[in-house]
Every structure is written in C-alpha cells, then in structure tokens.
Amino acid sequence: GDSVTQTEGPVTLSEGTSLTVNCSYETKQYPTLFWYVQYPGEGPQLLFKVPKANEKGSNRGFEATYNKEATSFHLQKASVQESDSAVYYCALSHTNTGKLTFGDGTVLTVKP
C-alpha cells in the first residue's frame, strides 16, 4: 500500500532560520502530494498541494517540489517565524478513493 516517511521530530529552530522537513513516499499510483499543518486543538489544514510531477507548490513562504524520480516532496522555508510552530504532515492521495495517507508528522517549535 501507500506510505509516507518524513523527518522525525521534534524540530526546534530560532526565528529567522531556515527549515527543511524531508518527505519521501511510496505508491503504485500517480498521487497528488500535500503538505498539511495542524495547530493545537485543531484539525489538519491544507498548506498546499501539488498534483503533477516536477511542479512546485507554495504558500505562506513554505514550498516543496514534487520530485517523481526521487519520490520526494521536501518542505522548505527560508525564514521561519514563531507563528509557524505547529505539526507538519506530508501526505499523498489515493487516485481512486481520495483517501489521504499521512506521514508521522513533524513537530516544529520556533523560538523567538
């Protein structure tokens, strides 16, 4: 079945530093790839999605490129802010059912 593996957390950074959260996936389908973010007490919300290989998605300064050859979708941000503290999930969608398969999540804490 489908699987997603991402950087183990927790990750602690200082404001203004750069972030990389690695994500790799396995699937026999042609997936759409997603990054979701979850704040305390809330459900996951979409950060951005990329449906096509070799394309880049971005939102709020975060970005990731769908690398089909490497089966990777690493999340990056050049300069993190304290408000970016949250759990970040890499996910892929199943073509036929729409089911999202999540990675384990990476807890990010940004200190002022």
Partner 1 sequence: GPKVLQIPSHQIIDMGQMVTLNCDPVSNHLYFYWYKQILGQQMEFLVNFYNGKVMEKSKLFKDQFSVERPDGSYFTLKIQPTALEDSAVYFCASSLDRGNTGQLYFGEGSKLTVL
Interface with partner 1 includes 40 (CB under 8 A)?
no
The nearer residue to partner 1, 97 or 112, going by C-beta atoms, is: 97
The only residue of 30, 60, 70, 79 in contact with partner 1, by rule CB under 8 A: 30
* Cis amide leading into 112 (omega within 30): no
Interface with partner 1 includes 102 (CB under 8 A)?
yes
Burial string for 69-98 (b: 16+ CB within 10 Å, else e) reads eeebbbbebeebeeebbbbbbbbbbeeeee
Interface with partner 1 includes 101 (CB under 8 A)?
yes
The only residue of 8, 26, 82, 104 in contact with partner 1, by rule CB under 8 A: 104
- The phi-psi region of residue 105 (left if phi > 0; otherwise alpha if psi is between -120 and 50; otherwise beta) is left
The only residue of 3, 15, 16, 46 in contact with partner 1, by rule CB under 8 A: 46
